[in-house]
């Protein structure tokens, strides 16, 4: 019996051992951050020669090691971007050419067109906030970065059809109202310069970065105001209604500049945030760069003309106010200077008493300006009669003072 009991004890299964459960590590704040690759450095290394990218990469590594010494003080640098699946789903929904998208874009086009025709800056800003076009354009930049053709087609369709809807809305409103006067708000969007290109590049980077962070998504309306996508499209429609080729060309150039700038810098920001790769985005980014280079030619020429006009306006204003006796004591209401090739057009609006300025005096001012500026000048002076009324307590009637 004893031997049988011992045998049965030997056949018994051993007690299951308790599996060791790994305890979560307690963060003390002294751990060094895990190094991760920097796509921008890879982009720099790919496109720049060694004597340029090697010192930059070395400096970045030194700074990264210095930052890693006190990890607790730099915890805000470890803010991670949104996961790829969530960002892809968000941009896919934002690029959908749905009824809501077209309705909001139509209402934005109505506000923008009426604000431009009325010269209301507040209405134009409201149209920028309402417009949902920033979403599909950002999705285009993301699609180029990821090589996602479906998203690129979807967002491209939304951008093209939305642009046509906005242009058609402005054309219909301008034709219906019948206004043909181009005010300052309209003309400001017909002469884009390199400054507008810089704004588009910065806005594209800001919009893409805000899309990758949940905490700063509220910055997107400000980005929409900065880049101003809908007003140039409305100006195109107004230009078609009034049949002005210069207005159509200038506003189209402004819209294309903003569009290409957003796509280029938006794609670079997405690569920087570890979305996609340089290999996939190379063709799209190269195409955006070529387009911006081509657009930069007329933008640079417009920038040069703007600088010349500003310098000429300052110089002409100083000469007229300080070095001519004709307009020294007059009220110059408006001074407009623009260039027409080699000729400088100067238009003055002056408030002066009747008979105080003669044609001979204008001719002397014209000769003086041509001698000082050493270029042909087309001078036009509009004089508004100035009449002041005064009241004498001893006299009942009002008497004009010339």
Which has more confidence, 245 or 65?
A: 245
Of 102-116, 131-145, 335-349, least confident by mean pLDDT is 335-349
**84-306 and 323-390 in the same fold:** no
Residue 112 · residue 124 · CB < 8 Å: yes
- Is the model's pLDDT at 332 over the cut of 90? no
Of 90-94, 256-260, 343-347, least confident by mean pLDDT is 343-347
Q: For position 251, what pLDDT does the model report?
A: 93
Specify the CATH architecture of the domain 84-306: Up-down Bundle (1.20)
Mean pLDDT across 60-75: 59
Q: For position 66, what pLDDT does the model report?
A: 61
- Is the model's pLDDT at 170 over the cut of 90? yes
Half-sphere exposure of 66 (CA within 13 A, CB side): 6
Q: What is the pLDDT of residues 136-146, one digit of tens each?
A: 999 999 998 88
- Is the model's pLDDT at 70 over the cut of 50? no
Counted residue by residue, the chain has a size of 402
DSSP assignment string, 239-281: HHHHT-HHHHHHHHHHHHHHHHHHHHHHHHHHHHTT-S-HHHH
Of 35-49, 83-97, 276-290, least confident by mean pLDDT is 35-49
DSSP tag of 226 = H
Q: Compute the distance between CA of residue 372 and CA of residue 317 in angstroms, rounded to an integer.
A: 13
- Is the model's pLDDT at 25 over the cut of 50? no
Q: For position 21, what pLDDT does the model report?
A: 47
Domain segments of the chain: what residues? 84-306, 323-390
Global confidence as pTM: 0.71
The model's confidence at residue 219, banded by pLDDT at 50, 70 and 90, is: low
Question: What CATH number should be reported for the domain whose range is 323-390?
Answer: 3.30.300.20
Residue 115 · residue 126 · CB < 8 Å: yes
């Amino acid at each position: 019996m004893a031997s049988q009991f011992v045998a049965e004890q030997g056949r018994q299964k051993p007690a299951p051992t308790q599996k060791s459960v790994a305890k979560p590590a307690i963060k003390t704040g002294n751990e060094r951050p895990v190094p991760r690759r920097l796509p921008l450095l890879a982009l720099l290394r790919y496109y720049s020669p060694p004597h340029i990218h090697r010192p930059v990469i070395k400096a970045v590594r030194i700074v990264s090691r210095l930052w890693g010494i006190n990890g607790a003080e730099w915890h805000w640098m470890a803010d991670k971007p949104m996961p790829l699946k969530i960002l892809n789903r968000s941009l896919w929904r934002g690029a959908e050419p749905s009824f809501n998208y077209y309705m909001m874009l139509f209402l934005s086009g109505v506000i923008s067109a009426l604000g431009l025709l009325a010269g209301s800056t507040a209405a134009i800003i409201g149209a920028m906030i309402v417009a949902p076009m920033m979403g599909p354009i950002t999705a285009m930049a993301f699609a180029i970065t990821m090589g996602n053709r479906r998203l690129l087609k979807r967002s491209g369709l939304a951008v093209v059809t939305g642009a046509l809807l906005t242009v058609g809305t402005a054309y219909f409103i301008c034709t219906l109202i019948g206004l043909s006067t181009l005010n300052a708000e309209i003309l400001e969007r017909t002469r884009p310069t390199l400054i507008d290109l810089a704004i588009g590049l910065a806005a594209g980077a800001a919009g893409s970065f805000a899309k990758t962070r949940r905490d700063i998504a509220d910055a997107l309306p400000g980005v929409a105001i900065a880049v101003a996508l809908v007003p140039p499209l409305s100006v195109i429609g107004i230009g078609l209604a009034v049949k002005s080729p210069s207005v159509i060309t200038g506003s189209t150039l402004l819209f294309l500049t903003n569009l290409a700038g957003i796509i280029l810098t938006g794609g670079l920001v997405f690569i920087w945030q570890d979305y996609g790769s340089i290999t996939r985005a190379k063709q799209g980014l190269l195409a955006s760069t070529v387009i911006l280079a081509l657009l930069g030619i007329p933008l640079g020429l417009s920038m040069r003309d703007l600088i010349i006009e500003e310098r000429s306006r300052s110089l002409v204003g100083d000469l007229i106010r300080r070095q001519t006796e004709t307009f020294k004591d007059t009220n110059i209401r408006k001074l407009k200077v623009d260039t027409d090739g080699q000729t400088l057009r100067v238009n003055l609006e002056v408030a002066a008493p009747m008979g105080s300025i003669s044609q001979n005096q204008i001719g002397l001012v014209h000769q003086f300006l041509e001698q000082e500026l050493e270029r042909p000048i087309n001078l036009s002076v509009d004089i508004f009669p100035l009449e002041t009324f005064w009241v004498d307590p001893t006299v009942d009637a009002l008497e004009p003072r010339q």
